[in-house]
Amino acid sequence: MAAIFRKIGTSNLLRGQAEKLHGKNFSTTSRKAKIALGAGAALAVAGSGTVALLHHSVYASDLILHPPSMPWSHGGLLQTLDTASVRRGYEVYKQVCAACHSMNYIAFRNLVNVTHTEEEAKTLAKEVDVVDGPNEAGEMFTRPGKLSDYFPNPYPNEEAARDANNGALPPDLSYIVLARHGCEDYIFSLLTGYVDAPAGVTMQEGQYYNPYFPGQAIGMAQALYNEIIEYEDGTPATQSQLAKDVSTFLRWASEPQHDYRKELGFKVLCLGAIFLPLMAYHYKRVFSTLKSTKIHYKK
């Protein structure tokens, strides 16, 4: 028995000495670690600041005037596109933008029951001559357009488009809203943002100053002016109205399922508000008994 107590005392003594040594080493190490961590943190902060300064010094978007956020009628969670504005926007595209810009991914059938009736869409399609074929003789022929045809391209190829626009390629507008930072805000601001170049800025031939365009030098001349077209519904065709309508039309073209997506989301929220409390009640009713059950095992 005495031997056991002696062993216990010896082990406690050794443990106490180890703890003293460990505490001494830890205090010394922690002081060094604090110095090292402080130096490392200072270097990290200095390096991050240097990188941030270099990054912002060459950041291209600093030379871009970001478009302001506009109060679009379809901007809310439950707000849909203004169909009348989309139809007017198609008029702007057809009479102004279609001379240079294509919409290769939008067909006349997409207009049916959105902006036009089926008969109106067929009439619009028939106004376009479409090259088709070959026929039985192996020759290409021209026919009136159909609902299944896509909007016509103003140029036969990319080279012809560049040649007609001083080397600049007019972008396809099918998904232009989703392809630009700012979406329809950017399109509206760009179309209404043409101003004279500030002092000291010289524009090359065929270029125009627009602060919303990256680099400010854009190859597209100002396209929208007051009363440049006449709306079918009699809406005053001011520049801002034209830009607003064509921006709304391009939003629809980039996301034709815009209204359906919001409608489906609203239905999901309504169903969730009904069924989630029921599921929570059912879960509590079924599993509360199982969770509170005490099981005894026989030995």
Residues 182 and 91 in one domain: yes
pTM for the model stands at 0.72
Alpha-carbon gap, residue 284 to 277, rounded angstroms:
11
108, 98 in Cβ contact below 8 A?
Answer: no
pLDDT at 220 over 50: yes
pLDDT at 94 over 90: yes
Q: Mean of the per-residue pLDDT values for the chain?
A: 84
- Boundaries of domain holding 35: 2-58
Residues 46 and 174 in one domain: no
Query: Does 140 map to a domain?
Result: no
Residues 73 and 210 in one domain: yes
- Residue 196 tokens read as 């004279």
Query: Does 92 map to a domain?
Result: yes
Query: Does 163 map to a domain?
Result: yes
pLDDT at 21 over 70: no
More confident residue, 42 or 130: 130
Can you tell me whether residue 127 is helix, strand or coil? coil
More confident residue, 139 or 48: 139
Backbone angles phi, psi at 189, to 5 degrees: -65, -40
Residues 85 and 227 in one domain: yes
pLDDT at 25 over 60: no
> ∠ at Cα 246 (243, 247), nearest 5°?
80
Residues 158 and 38 in one domain: no
Number of domains in the chain: 2
Residues 50 and 10 in one domain: yes
Q: What is the pLDDT of residue 104?
A: 95
Mean pLDDT, rounded, for 280-284: 84
Mean pLDDT, rounded, for 156-180: 93
Q: What is the pLDDT of residue 53?
A: 54
| CA–CA distances in Å: residue 39 to residues 45, 53, 188, 260 | 10, 21, 51, 57
Q: What is the pLDDT of residue 22?
A: 46
Query: Does 30 map to a domain?
Result: yes
């009640």: which residue's tokens?
A: 281
CATH number at residue 221: 1.10.760.10
